[in-house]
A = this chain, B = another copy of it.
């Protein structure tokens, strides 16, 4: 079965290591599934079937046989459904893993990474951007504290690594240091996730696809 993931072959420095094809590559590596990439330039307009496959004109989109999936969360869940390495077979455990996947994307990412984007790129040059950022950071701490309290000194969110951890670590790893500074549990958790060989392989492949001269 051929699997194709769309990614970027150029872009600003800030895009490297951040664009969400990385999450999909990580899941495929954890699951031991091979894939190919198809790359776009940063900001390259999409039309035709490319726009149908990703209506926001972003990456990643995913093709597998007749399936066309967009949104990294949906792709992660699809891949997880093919591998017990990401999703336990026990239905109750699978439900928890899926709950954490959505928690990462809909309860944590919007109040953290989304706010980083807004304060950095949307409000970046306004005189009040620093104030907005400080208030957003303060607000985000409530959600981050809930995750830290839940995690405590356990290695993963539930009894074992799942697609929920993959999503949560992916969200947390992109945050500036001051977001995680009050939460040593979360810092250790992120480090644990990023040390996984599957993540390292995914990151190497993600960076290798940036063919732009500035790419590492």
A-to-B contact residues, CB < 8 Å: 55-58, 66-74, 77-78, 91-92, 95-96, 98-99, 101-103, 105-107, 109-111, 114-115, 118, 122-123, 126-128, 131-132, 135-136, 139, 143, 146-147, 149-150
Contacts and interface: CB of A to CB of B under 8 A. Distances in A.
15 contacts: A55-B103, A55-B146, A56-B103, A56-B107, A67-B91, A67-B92, A69-B95, A71-B99, A71-B102, A74-B98, A106-B109, A110-B114, A122-B136, A122-B139, A132-B132
Given A56-B103, A92-B66, A128 B132 contact: yes
Contacts of A106: 71-73, 105-106, 109
SS of A interface (majority): helix
B55 A69 contact: no
A98 B118 contact: no
A57 B68 CA distance: 35
Given A67-B91, A147-B55, A102 B118 contact: no
A146 B55 CA distance: 6
Given A73-B105, A105-B106, A123-B135, 19 more contacts: A55-B103, A55-B147, A56-B146, A66-B92, A67-B92, A68-B96, A69-B95, A70-B103, A73-B102, A74-B95, A74-B101, A74-B102, A77-B77, A77-B102, A111-B114, A122-B139, A126-B128, A126-B131, A126-B132
A70 B164 CA distance: 12
| Complex copy number for this chain | 2
Interface core residue of A91, A102, A143, A150 (most chain B CB under 10 Å): A102
A112 B92 CA distance: 33
Contacts of A118: 115, 136, 139
Contacts of A91: 66-67
A149 B46 CA distance: 13
Nearest 3 CB-CB pairings of A with B: A71-B102, A128-B128, A110-B110
Contact of A102 (B105, B111, B127, B149): B105
A56 B143 contact: yes
